[in-house]
Amino acid sequence: MIELSGDPDGRWQIGFAGDTFNALWTMRALLGSETKTDYVSAFGDDPFSSRQVAFMADGGIGIASSPRLAGARPGLYAITLDGHERSFTYWRSDAAARQLASDPDALAASLAGRQLVVFSGITLAILEQQGRRTLLGQLARVRDAGARVAFDPNYRPRLWPDADLARRAMTDACKVADIALPTFPDEQALHGDDDQRHTARRMAEAGIGEIVVKNGTDPAWLQVGAEGSAIPAFPSARPLDTTGAGDAFNGAYLAMRLRGVQPAEAARVAHRVAARCVETRGALTPHAEIVAAAGSSGLA
CA 48 to chain centre: 22
Whether 194 is catalytic is no
Q: How deeply is 195 buried, as exposed, middle or buried, from its count of CB atoms within 10 A (0-12, 13-18, 19+)? A: middle
> Quick check: helix, strand or coil at residue 60?
coil
Q: Residue 279 has what DSSP assignment?
A: T
Q: Give the integer Cα–Cα distance in Å for 287 and 1.
A: 19
> Which residues lie closer than 8 Å to 59 by C-beta, 6 or more apart?
25, 28, 287
Using alpha carbons only, give the angle 115, 271, 288 rounded to the nearest 5 degrees: 75
Q: Give the integer Cα–Cα distance in Å for 5 and 3.
A: 6
Neighbours of 176 (CB within 10 A): 22
Q: Where are the domains of the chain?
A: 2-295
Pick from 200, 132, 152: nearest CA to 19: 152
Q: Which fold has domain 2-295?
A: UDP-N-acetylmuramoyl-L-alanine:D-glutamate ligase (3.40.1190)
Q: Give the H/E segment covering residue 229.
A: strand 227-231
Catalytic residue among 152, 186, 193, 247: 247
Pick from 264, 265, 289, 259: nearest CA to 276: 289
Q: Residue 151 has what DSSP assignment?
A: E
Q: Give the integer Cα–Cα distance in Å for 99 and 96.
A: 6
CA distances from 114 to 111, 117, 136, 148 (A): 6, 7, 15, 8
Which pLDDT tens digits describe the chain residue by residue (300 residues)? Answer: 898 877 777 788 888 999 999 999 999 999 998 999 999 999 999 999 999 999 999 999 999 999 999 999 999 988 776 665 667 788 888 899 999 999 999 999 999 999 999 999 999 999 999 999 999 999 999 999 999 999 999 999 999 999 999 999 999 999 999 999 999 999 999 999 999 999 999 999 999 999 999 999 999 999 999 999 999 999 888 888 888 999 999 999 999 999 999 999 999 999 999 999 999 888 899 999 999 999 854 454
Find out whether 133 and 165 touch, Cβ atoms under 8 Å.
Answer: no
pTM above 0.85, yes or no: yes
Find out whether 220 and 212 touch, Cβ atoms under 8 Å.
Answer: yes
